[in-house]
Structure 1
Amino acid sequence: MIPRGNRPVNEYSNPNILLGILPALFPYGCGAIEDDSRSVQIDFREHLRYLIVFRNRRFEEHYSFIFVVFNILQHRTACFHAHLMTLIRYFQQSAQLLESLSSADIATALVNISKGTYSNIADQRINTLMKHIRGVLWYCKEPRQRFTSLAPSYLAQS
């Protein structure tokens, strides 16, 4: 389920990630949030609310469960509210440029930008996109305290 090593596991492509991270809470290997074997699919938040008020309180009292699931919830909420915006006059050009770029091109540009070795003449397609497309992370830029303050109020709603 969860390979050993220092590489992080993708939480989006592994619906049974909680089974591997928290085996003490799911000793039989089933019943985790977003379990594929369940005939009726349950929303992540609803299942989380149920587990936190579970009768024997093992999820509520576990030392890291609340932090792990709220971290996953925070990532999903932040990614859900991230958007790309461009002006109408650049839309067609930006769409064609996005289609022409591969993920390797973007990854190379990101590595070079993070290292500070990116030059404006490296790839004109990426330069054009950086001029025309703006990321809107209004929901992500709010202080981290907002997400951590959600935990007590979220638990009280049950």
Structure 2
Amino acid sequence: MGVSDPNQSARPGRILARDAFRTLYKRSDNENLAQLVYKLASEPEKEYYNPRLLMGMFPTLFPFGIGALEDPKCVRKLSFVAHLRAFMESSILDVQKHNSFIFIAWNMVSRRLAHLYSRLAVSKRSYDSIARDLLAISPEAILHAVSFFEQSSGSFNSDLPPDVEKALRLVREVKSVSSCIPGSEGAKRRAQNEIRGYSAVLGVPHLFITLNVSALYSPVFQFMCGNRTFTFDTRVPILGTPRERAVHLAENPVLAARFFDFMIRAVFSALFGWDFSERRAEAFTGILGPLSGW
């Protein structure tokens, strides 16, 4: 079937569903009997505090309806993110090796962070007028503007309807701030500002290091995957064929992320003498001397 991202596609959702189910559909002995039943409800499933959502999407991961996220019947209450982290850190590999569960679940986490931490920012000189326009504009006007944009294919003329022109002005003047969402432009700017802050307080960094941690060629990662066919006593351990190593990496991206975090922490703690729990240099100064920050 392939993978399609509805957020980056101009094709409507009904067209994507039609093509997907046309691929799945196979004629049986009875031409009027399909081998797949597709049920539609009048309302979409709720995303928040709905234990049936992920359990219904991935029934094989939650046998007998046990272990659903945000389940009110759970004895120990866990947040959505804490429950996901427990899945990722557990020894149950069904969740970690699933083809789509971790991507869909963490996409839901990103959406929740966007709902919680997104802010609107405007310039000081246009604050008063923008505030009045935001209070005055109606949802119907926004829907009208969206439909107008879709029909015009992104090309705007000078003779725009008043509500469309007002919505377009809001789009130009109002900026969304999302620095708490991992991978967003706001998060990248936040990291850049942190680097500038370190440079302002501690001075320009004296050394720039690039750590190219590759799980594909690392015996540590292959050992974490369960490969016991080699020993660390040899200088160049034989890790298997390139295809076998690539399969180990592709089938468990959670373990690959854990390996990356482990190697970065090992380098900074063992070689550079950095204490992650105290967020400062250890008594052992490391090969570069005492570190002020990184």
TM-score by length of 2: 0.40
1:49 and 2:85 aligned: yes
Which of 55, 60, 73 is residue 37 of structure 1 equivalent to? Answer: 73
CA-CA distance at 1:12 after TM superposition: 3.4
What count of residue pairs does the alignment treat as equivalent? 150
RMSD after superposition: 3.8
CA-CA distance at 1:84 after TM superposition: 2.0
Higher RCO (C-alpha 8 Å, min separation 6): 1
**Counterparts in 2 of 1:17-36, with a 5 A limit?**
17-36=53-72
Which of 126, 129, 137 is residue 167 of structure 2 equivalent to? Answer: 126
Alpha carbons of structure 1 residues 75 and 8: separation in structure 2 relative to 1, 3 Å? farther
Alpha-carbon contact 1:49-1:155 (below 8 Å) kept: no
Segments of structure 1 that go 5 or more residues without pairing to the other structure are 144-149
1:15-34 Cα shifts (integer Å, max 9, x gaps): 33201111111223342222
Alpha-carbon contact 1:33-1:47 (below 8 Å) kept: yes
Alpha-carbon contact 1:11-1:72 (below 8 Å) kept: no
Question: C-alpha separation between the residues in 1 aligned to 2:259 and 2:68?
Answer: 18
Alpha carbons of structure 1 residues 63 and 130: separation in structure 2 relative to 1, 3 Å? closer
Question: C-alpha separation between the residues in 1 aligned to 2:258 and 2:151?
Answer: 39
Instruction: Give 2:147's aligned residue.
Output: 111
1:15 and 2:46 aligned: no
What is the one-letter code of the residue matched to 1:126? A
CA-CA distance at 1:86 after TM superposition: 0.9
CA-CA distance at 1:137 after TM superposition: 5.7
SS of match in other structure, 2:47 = coil
Instruction: Give 1:146's aligned residue.
Output: none
Question: C-alpha separation between the residues in 1 aligned to 2:145 and 2:60?
Answer: 42
What is the one-letter code of the residue matched to 2:148? N
Question: C-alpha separation between the residues in 2 aligned to 1:26 and 1:127?
Answer: 46
1:75-105 Cα shifts (integer Å, max 9, x gaps): 3345555432112232232222212222222
Alpha carbons of structure 1 residues 71 and 4: separation in structure 2 relative to 1, 3 Å? farther
SS of match in other structure, 2:120 = strand
Question: C-alpha separation between the residues in 1 aligned to 2:111 and 2:258?
Answer: 16
Segments of structure 2 that go 5 or more residues without pairing to the other structure are 1-37, 189-252, 263-294
Question: C-alpha separation between the residues in 2 aligned to 1:89 and 1:14?
Answer: 41
Question: C-alpha separation between the residues in 1 aligned to 2:109 and 2:147?
Answer: 27
- Paired-residue identity, %: 22
Instruction: Give 1:4's aligned residue.
Output: 39
Alpha-carbon contact 2:49-2:71 (below 8 Å) kept: no
Instruction: Give 1:74's aligned residue.
Output: 110
